[in-house]
Chain A
């Protein structure tokens, strides 16, 4: 049976970028997926949610519209929308992220070709303050095992730090538990690394996603929050090393964390 795919879009006070994201989904060459659009008690932008849902439905895509019972934090909302999803594979997309028309087709092909895969990334085109940049994997192979993840991380951080260019099996996500609310700046990196150290990484070496995140830090709260990315990275490395020692996964990283923080971190 073909694995099912669900694209998850958590929104809060969305603007017209949501409609652009929906348009990129509606334009997919393979539309055999569902979209779960979860509204975190928005006060504005209801019309954009309606427009996005209408656009997707018109393209023949099943849309599940849900609403949280009360306003929750950004990462809690991400976790909640994942827990509601039912498909075999999940992909988180934020308003403003654009998927190239062949994204779903290529993702599905890789899922079918590699049924043991649990985490699939692709390259991402990043819209930064200094122009466009591409987050590529630091290896050429189509996949690396969990034991080899430490060969490339934290020497390079950006290839694993975004949510938009990552898809994972629902089972892998359920095992991991979800996004850590303790790391508002690097929650995606933490989850992606956890999954990579459990299952290895499948890589599609093509920029199939455009991430528009240059103007906003992905914080856990809408206002008043602050982050210390070097400290978050240090905590992530401590956890990663700890997991590897406990699970007897090879962890040979001797890269000092303060040097890792000077490595490129994408749009940050």
Chain B
């Protein structure tokens, strides 16, 4: 891995930002820089100042930027990626945190797999008033090349975790077309499935990231948006299937259909349970 930049897009951050900043500042390998982008917050400025100070105290190079106007959530993510200077990028959101050996493990994996342009880590999911849950993936431990991942993605769908568990080459992100804004709930799923099938993927088996569904988070409200989530899921799976068909990539149509039906079944169960 060449240079690494950690991206921290924030809007009206709360005290949860402190834990995120602490986990970045405490990394055992500090050969990276941090970019904080504030999407015109109306409150929580003190938490951004405090995070900036913490990085500076730890000797980590930090830049603070602001988009020219207030942007949508996914639009802000895309914009901030284009303000980066690192060759590898690692997004993380306020409230999530990294294990202290994350950067060193990421760097080692990248060095051992120079062809790899996208690396994710297994993660621990923290929900309000629930015990932490370890989320693993079958695609860990070695570099899975694109040809192999295309068929896997079209059989199992999203298995790569949220943006806070991901790191990728800057140019790979640009070439892939960023986070698709018309799918605000599933934009990360589509991007990561696309990158895995286009560039291959390496998964870090240890849970090195912590995904925290705290009260101020967009994901907290997803339970009430089951229909939207289902519609977006079906759309992005169709997009992946169509691309594979278009590029004449061999994949099992039957398994793809089975995956779609699985999503329908899960959605119907969720609706019934509600």
Q: Which residues in chain A, 188-234, are within 8 Å of chain B measured between CB atoms?
A: 194, 198, 220-221, 224-228, 231-232
Residue of B nearest to A82 (CB): B174
Question: Which of A179, A183, A231, A239 has the largest count of B CB atoms less than 10 A from its CB?
Answer: A239
**With known contacts A75-B177, A176-B181, A239–B235 Cβ distance under 8 A:** yes
CB < 8 Å: which of A176, A181, A198 contacts B194?
A: A181
The answer to whether B235 touches A80 (Cβ under 8 A) is no
CA distance A76 to B198 in the complex (A): 11
- Does B248 count as interface, using CB distance less than 8 angstroms? yes
- Does A79 count as interface, using CB distance less than 8 angstroms? yes
Q: How large is the interface on A (under 10, 10 to 19, 20 to 34, 35 or more residues)?
A: 35 or more
The answer to whether B235 touches A226 (Cβ under 8 A) is no
**With known contacts A171-B79, A181-B194, A194-B181, A245–B228 Cβ distance under 8 A:** yes
Residue of B nearest to A236 (CB): B182
CA distance A177 to B183 in the complex (A): 12
CB < 8 Å: which of A180, A239, A243 contacts B177?
A: A180
The answer to whether B177 touches A80 (Cβ under 8 A) is no
Residue of A nearest to B177 (CB): A178
The answer to whether A174 touches B235 (Cβ under 8 A) is no
Question: Which of A174, A194, A232, A240 has the largest count of B CB atoms less than 10 A from its CB?
Answer: A174
CA distance A3 to B79 in the complex (A): 19
A interface secondary structure, majority: helix
Q: How many Å from the CB of A11 to the closest CB on chain B?
A: 17
**With known contacts A76-B176, A242-B231, A246-B228, A83–B82 Cβ distance under 8 A:** yes
- Does A182 count as interface, using CB distance less than 8 angstroms? yes
The answer to whether A231 touches B242 (Cβ under 8 A) is yes
CB < 8 Å: which of B181, B194, B239, B248 contacts A235?
A: B239
Question: Which of B69, B181, B238, B245 has the largest count of A CB atoms less than 10 A from its CB?
Answer: B181
- Does A112 count as interface, using CB distance less than 8 angstroms? no
The answer to whether A224 touches B248 (Cβ under 8 A) is yes
The answer to whether B248 touches A226 (Cβ under 8 A) is yes
Q: Which residues in chain B, 68-103, are within 8 Å of chain A measured between CB atoms?
A: 68-69, 71-72, 74-76, 78-79, 82
- Does A113 count as interface, using CB distance less than 8 angstroms? no
CA distance A194 to B177 in the complex (A): 13
The answer to whether A247 touches B72 (Cβ under 8 A) is yes
Which of chain A's residues have a CB closer than 8 A to the CB of B184?
A: 243, 246-247
The answer to whether A182 touches B194 (Cβ under 8 A) is yes
Which of chain A's residues have a CB closer than 8 A to the CB of B177?
A: 75-76, 79, 177-181
Q: How many Å from the CB of B219 to the closest CB on chain A?
A: 14
Query: Which chain B residues have a beta carbon within 8 Å of chain A's beta carbons?
Result: 67-69, 71-72, 74-76, 78-79, 82, 171, 174-185, 190, 194, 198, 228, 231-232, 235, 238-240, 242-243, 245-248
3 closest A-B pairs by CB: A177-B178, A239-B182, A178-B177
* Additional A-B contact list (16), CB under 8 Å, known A179-B177, A240-B182: A72-B175, A75-B177, A79-B176, A80-B171, A80-B175, A175-B75, A180-B239, A182-B190, A182-B194, A182-B243, A220-B246, A225-B246, A239-B183, A239-B235, A243-B182, A243-B183
